[in-house]
Amino acid sequence: MATPTKKDKYVNVLNQTITMSAADTLTFQEISMGLNLFDKVGILIHQVRIDISNAALLGLAEDSDEIEVAMTTSNQLDSLSLTQQAVIDRFSLKASEIGTAASLVIFREPFILDYTMLPESGLLVAPKPLYLGMETAGLASAASANIRLFFTVVQLKSEDYFELLESRQFFG
């Protein structure tokens, strides 16, 4: 892919919240940036900060409990596994009992996904379709999370934009 032309001088910040429809149910929330497929731009994601609700963190009580948050290009997935081509990246927290049940674990929030070490200092994705997905296992109630996305918009040539779309979708 050719080097994109930066459209933004400064980093944009987008705040998005997802609340699951029910406990242990895969839920999606569209991330809307006001851009569409015809703009022929990409979103260069530099960093994602994930803040999981305190209630969800407190729900991690047993060895099998888990919280997953992911960015995807589809809301038709049956899991947030990294084997799914539409999953851009995923963050997972798993409970693990070590020692007595009275053990304490302190979480440092927000959880940070940093892409600045990648070429062009970020992860290039299409602005649409873009979703936030969340799934839990073992929690007693629906969970929620907030993400803060740091990105710049880059202008792409038609052929580069189509290549970007192909990297996450299968056209056949």
* pLDDT tens digits along 150-169: 999 999 988 888 888 777 66
User: Model's pTM, two decimal places?
Assistant: 0.86
pLDDT tens sequence across 85-129: 899 999 999 887 776 666 666 677 899 999 999 988 999 998 888
- Residue 39 binned pLDDT confidence (cut-offs 50, 70, 90): confident
Q: What is the pLDDT of residue 33?
A: 87
- Given a contact cutoff of 8 angstroms between Cβ atoms, the answer to whether 10 and 150 are in contact is no
pLDDT tens sequence across 49-84: 999 998 898 888 888 899 999 999 999 999 999 999
Q: Set out the domains of the chain in order of their start, with CATH numbers.
A: 18-96+106-166 (2.60.120)
Q: Using the 8-state DSSP alphabet, how is residue 156 labeled?
A: -
Dihedral angle, C-alpha 116, 113, 96, 142, nearest 10 °: -170
Show the DSSP H helices in the chain as ranges: 54-58, 158-166
Q: What percent of the chain has pLDDT over 90?
A: 57
Q: What is the pLDDT of residue 172?
A: 38
- Residue 35 binned pLDDT confidence (cut-offs 50, 70, 90): confident
Tell me the sheet residues that pair with 67. 93, 136
- Given a contact cutoff of 8 angstroms between Cβ atoms, the answer to whether 43 and 33 are in contact is yes
Q: What is the pLDDT of residue 102?
A: 62
Nearest to 16 by CA among 42, 55, 51: 51
